[in-house]
Amino acid sequence: MKKLVVGNLKMNLINLAERERYFKLLEKELSGKDFSNTEVVLCPPYVHLESFKKWKNKKIKLGAQNMFAETKGSYTGEISPTMLKAFGCEYVILGHSERRRYFSEKNEEISLKVASALKNGLIPVICVGETKVQREEHRVLDVITEQVAKALVNVSRTKAGGIVIAYEPVWAVGSDVTPTTHEIMEAKVLIRKILVALFGKKYAEKVRILYGGSVKAVIAKEICVDPGMDGVLVGRESLMPHEFLKIVAIIDKK
């Protein structure tokens, strides 16, 4: 199974000049590099999907940061999985903590999106993770169990191989604080156990489990390679192609 590095560009590249500058830097950094063990995915804002598709570098796949569960119709302001497919997306981030926090997304809504993404041929990268308070109250197990089980409630075991789970403790996102290698490993074991209970061992093993939250090249080994994660979800560092590809290179080498 290939490793996976997903870059979440969030609400950045705010004009055409910034986008062009980003493409130039990416081209420069990608030149001469080959990542044979790793899939690399970038998730730009919707408005940039078409230009990313046209830019089309074979080394980078395309993803979106969110989607609506319906495929078309009167849903003002929403974007459907069929649109994402048409614009070249293979992946979609779902249930990101910023969506849960600022847009009140609940597990039930996320589960509809997960099912719809799978049905429409997209690979959902489902974000789960506890807040600081939940960790302090020793509720990590309950929170993650509920988030994973509810997100996957409409998913059959044969679809498990098309799912990615990103363990992103909310307190580590955008904070420059990260869990220890051991804590990340514990979360991974817990998520795998939940998946085994839902799908059985054979299918559960097909799910890639990533770590996300303040990932940087200098700590990529201790937060991804050492705890045996299948890759990472990267926020801020994905805006800097040089740093982003350094992370990819570390994970690609293992």
Residue number, 123 or 204, with CB nearest to ligand PEP: 123
7 binds ligand PEP (CB under 6 A): no
Catalytic status, residue 20: no
Residue in 96, 98, 109, 130 annotated catalytic? 96
Rounded least distance, CB 216 to ligand PEP, Å: 8
Residue in 39, 98, 109, 168 annotated catalytic? 168
Interface residue with ligand PEP, options 212, 227, 231, 241 (CB under 6 A): 212
Which of 14, 252, 239, 230 shows the shortest CA–CA distance to 125?
230
26 binds ligand PEP (CB under 6 A): no
Q: How far is CA 105 from CA 4, 13, 30, in A?
A: 25, 25, 36
- The residues, any chain, with a CB within 8 Å of residue 64's CB and separated by 6 or more, are 43, 46, 49, 79, 84, 89, 91, 92, 93
Rounded least distance, CB 215 to ligand PEP, Å: 5
Cα–Cα distance, 21 to 159 (Å, whole number) = 38
Catalytic status, residue 168: yes
Rounded least distance, CB 149 to ligand PEP, Å: 22
Residue number, 199 or 211, with CB nearest to ligand PEP: 211
Residue number, 213 or 227, with CB nearest to ligand PEP: 213
Contact between 210 and 230 under an 8 Å Cβ cutoff? The reply is: yes
Residue number, 94 or 215, with CB nearest to ligand PEP: 215
Q: What are phi and psi of 166, to 5 degrees?
A: -110, 115
Q: How far is CA 146 from CA 19, 101, 202, in A?
A: 38, 17, 22
236 binds ligand PEP (CB under 6 A): yes
Cα–Cα distance, 167 to 96 (Å, whole number) = 10
Tokens of 51: 């230009």
235 binds ligand PEP (CB under 6 A): yes
Of residues 153-172, which lie at the interface with ligand PEP (CB under 6 A)?
168
Contact residues for ligand PEP, defined by CB under 6 A: 8, 168, 173-174, 212-215, 233-236
